[in-house]
Chain A
Amino acid sequence: GDSVTQTEGLVTLTEGLPVMLNCTYQTIYSNAFLFWYVHYLNESPWLLLRSSTDNKRTEHQGFHATLHKSSSSFHLQKSSAQLSDSALYYCALSDDSNYQLIWGSGTKLIIKP
């Protein structure tokens, strides 16, 4: 069945360094939608990025990700981390096989001064 893997449970970085959160997925369907949701403490989770187009860079709020179907990856990146980026980040998958999102286990990002 479908699955999403986020290998890092916790990422701790110093402010100003680049961010890369890994996301890989498995699906037999070619028309996959990949998502990144962000969950700040005491707030509601919200959609950060979404893509279904192969090899196209998607950007929002300083973050970017490119869906690579050849490697089944949708890594989240940012060139320079800010203290305010500290949050939980979830990668998720949707395709024709399921009516719900398949969620990764989440990566907690902590940015230190």
Chain B
Amino acid sequence: DAAVTQKPRYLIKMKGQEAEMKCIPEKGHTAVFWYQQKQSKELKFLIYFQNQQPLDQIDMVKERFSAVCPSSSLCSLGIRTCEAEDSALYLCSSSQDWGGYEQYFGPGTRLTVL
């Protein structure tokens, strides 16, 4: 079975603190995606990696987040200075390649910013 791992499952930060969450993609998958989901609703694309290289990201990520994939088996998403609006479920997914391939999702990291 496909298994994308995310840690931690829950993260509580105070406003202004730094946050970091990790994702272990499915073995052999070259594409990694990060999404933000607020209030169990819309999936908001954050950043996409192909073979560990970031190929696309939204402006919010460029400005306030840090995201890297130091190896094919580990990616991380960080928030430099947490804000209340960052409270959300952060989902990581991986796929064999981009486009029409199935994305396999991890369980997510639920971030609460107080």
Interface residues of A (CB under 8 A from B): 9, 33, 35, 37, 39, 41-47, 50, 52, 88, 90, 94-96, 98-101, 103, 105-106, 108
How many chain B residues touch A (CB < 8 A): the figure is 24
Are A99 and B102 in contact, CB atoms less than 8 angstroms apart?
no
Residues of A within 8 A of B98 (CB): 99-100
Interface residues of B (CB under 8 A from A): 4, 31, 33, 40-43, 45, 48, 50, 55-56, 91, 93, 98-100, 102-108
CA distance A94 to B33 in the complex (A): 14
Are B91 and A45 in contact, CB atoms less than 8 angstroms apart?
yes
CA distance A98 to B31 in the complex (A): 13
* Contacts A100-B48, A108-B40 given; does A44 touch B33 at CB 8 Å: no
Are B48 and A90 in contact, CB atoms less than 8 angstroms apart?
no
CA distance A80 to B91 in the complex (A): 30
Residues of B within 8 A of A42 (CB): 107
CA distance A86 to B40 in the complex (A): 13
Are B102 and A100 in contact, CB atoms less than 8 angstroms apart?
no
Residues of B within 8 A of A46 (CB): 104-105
10 contacts between A and B (CB under 8 A): A37-B103, A42-B107, A44-B105, A45-B105, A47-B102, A47-B103, A52-B100, A88-B40, A99-B48, A100-B48
Residues of B within 8 A of A90 (CB): 43
Residue picked from B4, B40, B55, most chain A C-beta under 10 Å: B40
